[in-house]
Structure 1
Amino acid sequence: MKKNTRISRVNDEIFKEISQIVRAELKDPRIGAMTSVVRVDTTQDLKYCKVYVSVLGDEAQKESVMKGLKNAGGFIRHLIAERVNLRITPELIFKLDESAEYAVRMEQLMRQISQDREEREGAHEGE
């Protein structure tokens, strides 16, 4: 149990720092305001950290942001090493998280189904 809370604290610290870095410190024009860190997942041995990123935009914009983050990975890792007190600074692996877009899409579909049902019921009442 102790290790899980430690990893959880490490994840929280890394998440906080990477969010700050992405939001305010990266100068790469590819990484815009519509980029946000959703969560981080560090391995037990602290060698790797998956950074899940949400990007609002089309496929080209998402690809561009992911390339920018990958290029900035060494710089971000260096800043994490300075700010988070760890013996080993994990290697950062950036992953595109599309769960927010998926949720929006599902909500649109549910709304459409509900609207279609209301229209059908309204048509039946008029008969």
Structure 2
Amino acid sequence: MPRETPRATRVGSRIQRILGQVIASDIRDSRLGLATVTDVEVSKDLAAARVYISALGDRTAADQAVDVLNERAPYLRHRVAQAMSLRHTPSLRFMPDYSQADSDRIRSLLERGDTEQSDED
């Protein structure tokens, strides 16, 4: 998406807060796990929003959470529209954010490397 405007940034942060609350309280699906809204990028014209989702676990957990939320996108868009006073509510597209899963994997590799080195000493 093109560079965000200050208004798009404000709308994105508000959408992030709203979706975080709605996902935590309203969506009950075992595939969702512990999903978190990490970022929202809104287009300049406020017509579309990319919502980045991180989930506790590996990359497949984030993919599953994204699949669940994309299925429920119309409901989530409706809830955002209720909470915000915009003429047109942006369409929501959920995308995986693998940064948490990757950092967990790197941390475990580093810890495993430390234990292997200490065994050699």
TM class by smaller structure: 0.7 to 0.9
TM-fit CA distance, 1:45: 1.2
What is the match of residue 25 of structure 1?
Answer: 26
Flag structure 1 segments of 5+ consecutive residues without an equivalent.
Answer: 123-127
Aligned residue type for 1:91: S
Instruction: Report the CA distance between 1:31 and its aligned residue.
Output: 4.9
Runs ≥4 residues deviating over 6 A: none
- Size of the aligned set, in residue pairs, is 117
Give the match's secondary structure for 2:95.
Answer: strand
Scaled by the length of structure 2, the TM-score of the pair is: 0.80
For residues 67-82 of structure 1, what are the structure 2 equivalents within 5 Å?
67-82=67-82
Higher normalized helix content (fraction of residues): 1
Q: 1:62 to 1:12 in 2, by over 3 A?
A: closer
Gaps of 5+ in 2: none
In the TM superposition, what are the counterparts of 1:89-100 in structure 2 within 5 Å? 89-100=89-100
Supply the distance in 1 between the matched residues of 2:15 and 2:66 (Cα, whole angstroms): 18
Aligned-residue offset at 1:69: 0.9
Give the TM-score, by structure 1 length. 0.77
Aligned Cα RMSD in Å?
2.2
Identity %: 25
**Greater Cα radius of gyration, structure 1 or 2:** 1
1:112 — aligned with what? Answer: 112
Residue 30 of structure 1 deviates from its aligned partner by 3.9
Shift of 1:94: 0.5
**What SS does the aligned partner of 2:72 have?**
helix
Matched-pair contact (CA < 8 Å) for 2:33–2:65? no
